[in-house]
Structures are given as C-alpha cells and as structure tokens.
Amino acid sequence: MADQVLTIPDSLSVSPPQIADETFLERLHGWVVTVDHKKLGILYVLYSVFFLFVAGAEALCIRIQLLRAHNHFLSAAVFNRFFTMHGTTMVFLVGMPILFGFANYLIPLMIGARDMAFPRLNAFSFWLTAFGGLLLYFSFIGGFGLYGVGSAPDVGWFAYAPLTARAFSPGHSTDYWALALIVSGFGTLGTAINIIATVLSMRCRGMTLWRMPLFAWLMFVVSGLTLITITPLTAAQIMLLIDRYLGGHFFDTQAGGSAVVWMHFFWIFGHPEVYVLVMPAFAIANEIIPVFSRKAIFGYPAMVAASAAIAFVSLGVWAHHMFTVGMTSVSNAFFTLSTMLVGVPTGIKIFNWVATMWGGRIRFATPMLFCIGFLFQFLLAGLTGIMLSVSPLDWQLHNSYFVIAHFHYVLVGAIVFNIFAAIYYWYPKATGRMLSERLGKWHFWLFLIGFHITFDTMHFLGFMGMPRSIYTFEPDRGWDRLNMIVSIGGFIQGVAVLIFAVNLVWSYYRGQPAGDDPWDAWTLEWATASPPPEYNFATEPVVRSRRPLWDLKHPEDPDWRYEQ
C-alpha cells in the first residue's frame, strides 16, 4: 500500500477542510436538497444497502420455511408475498440503484468533470427511485388483499398474466407493484439519460472516448441499454393498469387478449435487465483487477467492443425464458443460438481479466478477493447458462431450483460480490477512512463459504425435480437434507453481511485514515482529496493517457508513449 502524496498540479483542494459546525437539522436539510453527484451517489448506495438487508431478511424467512418438509414458519400466502418482494426488491431497489449510485459518484470524478450533466434531474431521479421503493413497501400496510388484511404483492417478480387480472388478484397489492415499478422506472430512465449526457458532453481536456476508464465506458453502454430496456416494462405496466382499472383486454384471454404477450413484453425487459445489472459489475472488475494486479487492463478495445456486443445480443435472447410456453421450433432454435452467442463476448471478457492478472504482482486485499470470487463464480454461472440455453434441457429444468441456482450465481456470485468489492475499494474515497481488512477478510470468506453451500446445493435440488416458488414439500421426496444445507448456507451469508454492516459503521468512526490514493491506483478519482471537495477538482485536469495517475507517478515512462 503506497501512501505517497500525489497531485495533479493545482487540482487538489485549495481550501482547508470544512469544519463541521452545522447542526444535525442543517446537515439533514443539506442531504435532502442536495444536487451534488457525490452526495446523491452515497444516498443511492445507502438506500440500496438498506433494502439489501430487508430483502436478505425476506430470503432468510423463505429459507427458514423451507428448512424441512411441512414446516409452518410462513403461511402459503405470506410465502408468496415474501418471494415476490424478495425478487422485486433485489432487482429494482438494490441492484439498479446501487450500481447507478456508483456511476453517479464515480463517473464525474473519473472523467474530470465538476458534476453530472443535469444535477437537478439527478436529484429528481433519486427521489423518484426512493419514492418507488417506499410505495412498494407501503403495500405491506396499505395494500388490502384477498381477505381484507394488509398485504404485499404476491404474483411473483415477473407477475404473469392472468394471475394479475382483477379476478385473481383483487385488492391493491398488484397495483402497488405496478405503480412502484413505473415510478422507479422513470427514475432509472432519468439517471440513464444523465449518465449518457455526462459521458458524451462533460469530459475534461484530453479525455477522448478511447482514454476513458472502462468503468465509464461500460456504464455508458449500460445506460444506453437501459433506455430501451426499462421503457418496455413501463409500457407493459401501463397496459396492466389499463386492464385492471379501465377494463382493458390486453392480457385478458376471455376477450381475445393474450397472456403470452405479457410474457414477451416482460422478458423483452427482463433479460436485458440481467445485463443492465451485470455489466456494472464488469465495470467494477475492470477498475479493481488491474490496480491489484499492478498491470494495465489487457485488451481495452476488446473490452469495449465485447460490452457493446453483449448489449446488442442481449436484446435478442428474451424468449429463452419461454421455451416451455410452446413456441415454434424455429423460435426455439433462434433463441437457443442467440443465447449461446452471448457467451462469446462474455468469454472474451473473462479471458481479458485472466490475462490482466497473468504475470501481475497480485495484492490479495479484500476488493481483489471479491473480484477473484466473482471471476470464478461468473464463469460457472455462464456455463450453467449455456446449459439452460439448450431448449430441450430447459424443458426438463425450467422453473426448477436449477434455474434459481443459475441466476443467483449471476446475481449474487457475480454482481453482489463485485458490489462488495466496489464498496471496499471506493469506501476510502467517499469517507476518507479504510474499511477494516480484518473484518473484510472474515466477511469475504464467510460469504464465499455460505454462498457455495447455498447455491451449489441448489443445482442438485433442481436436478432432483424441486420446483421454484413452492412454500413446502412432502417428506418423501428426498429433498429434506439438501434444503437444510441450503438454509444453513443462507444463514452463514447472513452472518457475513452482518459483519459487513459492522465494518461499515465501525470503520466510519475508527477506520485507519485513507489518504488520497490508498491503493496506488491510476484513474482520476484518486487524484483529488478523500472525501473529494464539492467541486471535485480545483482546476480542470488534463489527461494524456488511460492512466493519468500512472503518468504522474512515472514521468520517466508515461503511458502516452505507447497509447495512440
């Protein structure tokens, strides 16, 4: 860990750190009305971490219920609500906001800008997203369901028609679900527009597109994908509300409508959404792996091209969620092949990361540990993905725990691991203090072990025929022991996340001071103070290569000699 003092000439804070003489209310007011991209980024992350705990608790309740056959911890109705809320929360209130939070915090710093392109739109988007989350959870109190008791949405996170029709989902719980997603969807759309405009229009001098950090590049691609991914969901939700409130017939099979159309519309959103979530995780790996391998990223242009290719191909794979619906063999073949095609650019990325680490002097700090875990698990998740893309195999495994295991390998094994890596890596920048490495290592190992106990085992349950979304099972199925193991793994992960929470709070007050550049990194955000002053850089930085801080630290061998 190099702790050298390093400045881009005149770019550092010129004013002394502000003395905290504000009252609590004044500070709170400052956070509520802020349009500063850094504060909004932190708000996004805190908001998501809060919901990570909520949705994690829901998952643990689900696992207690499935601990053994005929358990009576949750009733069937509550179980349905919990897995619906767990899925919806994790995707819309944890995954997307936290990744957009990182983008918000980091992109202006990385490209040497003062703020995002539209700071007020930025604040508006955050509060829309936050309101969407509150709306979804208010349904526990306000959403009168089947028997007139308070109830949350219970139609599954993909809410297939005709279950969502008035006749089968009376009350307002489904409306809360639809409205919450429309509202937070507009928030997401605003953020995506903001990121695109920031990347294209706010870069500092010398920061050509081909010198941008890969993090900014991937977030740019993700935002472009978001524009055409979130909006179909919004459209489908509007149709659903028209059906429910105005008596429309979009998904009403009794009037000639089609339930399969909802499936198509949902997965036209739903599959690219996976890439909207996973590409920011790639973006994080692109920053962390080179810094901790002490080498420049291998194959920068290939990484950009692969990201664009993934975004493009991901638009044509949605119906692989629908092989069991009964499509023509031509569609089955098309979606099988297009799904396999995604494996090519993804494979290129994995090779590039491994090539970056190859021959590097790897430092096994906590962020890097999480990234290595990500590499391993993402590879496995990709391989089970290729298995599921084969439509005959999917007919066998569809809606079984094998599918659950596969996508949790992506969502937890890849995305959550990299979210943790990112928090360990950038926490010093945002707070000025390091997270404890000791607690970090505990967190990593416990989480890794818990993760594998849970999700490796789920694959076998899937092969043994256990379907998803069932609230209990018969004792004679032979699923008892494996379900017990899955649940135990879940609790180990829960303990690991609690250690993480302790680490977040403890290190904020007692952590070792970080300095401006604790990891000896190369991108612009490490050139300013930790935490950065409100204006980011006192003078506009000028960039000559992809690793501006390398150039400063090594004037005898700068990168711009080799990059063209």
Partner 1 sequence: MSTISLVPLTPDQPLDLPSRGRVGMLSLIIGESAIFTIFVVAYVFYIGKSLYGPTPAQVLEVPIFNTVCLLSSSFFIWLAEGSIEKNRMRRFLLWWSTTICLGIVFLVGTAREWLKLIYHDGLTIRTNLFGTTFYSLVGLHATHVVVGLLMLLLVLVFTLTGHVKESHTERIQVLALYWHFVDAVWVVVFTVVYIIGR
Q: What residue ranges bind partner 1 (CB under 8 A)?
A: 117-118, 121, 189, 192-194, 196-198, 200-203, 205-208, 223-224, 227-232, 234-236, 238-239, 242-243, 246-250, 255-258, 261, 265, 268, 542-544, 560-562, 564
* Nearest by Cα to 420 from 459, 365, 457: 365
Task: Decide: 188 and 125 in contact? Cβ < 8 Å.
Answer: yes
> Which residues does 160 contact at the CB level (< 8 Å), separation at least 6?
259, 262, 263, 266
Would you state the structure tokens that stand for residue 216, as one six-digit string? 């900014």
CB of 264 to partner 1, least distance (A): 9
Nearer to partner 1, 239 or 434 (CB): 239
* Nearest by Cα to 222 from 189, 183, 184: 189
CB of 261 to partner 1, least distance (A): 6
What DSSP line would sit under 151-199, residue for residue? ----S-TT--TTTTSTTTS-SSHHHHHHHHHHHHHHHHHHHHHHHHHHH
- Number of neighbours of residue 409 by Cβ within 10 angstroms: 25
Asked whether the bond before 555 is cis by omega within 30 degrees of 0, the reply is no
CB of 117 to partner 1, least distance (A): 4
Nearer to partner 1, 35 or 464 (CB): 35
Nearer to partner 1, 256 or 301 (CB): 256
Say which residue the tokens 């009037």 belong to. 255
Nearer to partner 1, 243 or 525 (CB): 243
Nearer to partner 1, 39 or 203 (CB): 203
Nearer to partner 1, 265 or 425 (CB): 265
Nearer to partner 1, 247 or 347 (CB): 247
Nearer to partner 1, 36 or 243 (CB): 243
How many Cα atoms occupy the beta-carbon half-sphere of 192 within 13 Å? 21
CB of 562 to partner 1, least distance (A): 7
The DSSP output letter for 33 is S
Nearer to partner 1, 242 or 308 (CB): 242
Task: Decide: 541 and 10 in contact? Cβ < 8 Å.
Answer: no
CA 552/CA 5 separation, integer angstroms: 11
CA 35/CA 533 separation, integer angstroms: 14
Nearer to partner 1, 205 or 481 (CB): 205
CB of 461 to partner 1, least distance (A): 36
CB of 239 to partner 1, least distance (A): 7
CB of 255 to partner 1, least distance (A): 6
Nearer to partner 1, 195 or 492 (CB): 195
CB of 404 to partner 1, least distance (A): 28
- Number of neighbours of residue 395 by Cβ within 10 angstroms: 11
Nearer to partner 1, 149 or 209 (CB): 209
CB of 547 to partner 1, least distance (A): 14
CA 385/CA 314 separation, integer angstroms: 13
Total number of residues shown for the chain: 564
CB of 350 to partner 1, least distance (A): 26
CA dihedral 513, 517, 519, 522 (to 10 degrees): 170
Task: Decide: 442 and 420 in contact? Cβ < 8 Å.
Answer: no
> Which residues does 285 contact at the CB level (< 8 Å), separation at least 6?
353, 371, 374, 375, 418, 421
Task: Decide: 228 and 275 in contact? Cβ < 8 Å.
Answer: no
CB of 159 to partner 1, least distance (A): 16
Q: What type of residue is 202?
A: M
Query: Helix H segments across 432-538?
Result: 437-463, 480-510
Q: How far is CA 223 from CA 42, 103, 131, 149, in A?
A: 19, 10, 21, 40
Longest dimension (CA), the chain: 75
CB of 204 to partner 1, least distance (A): 8
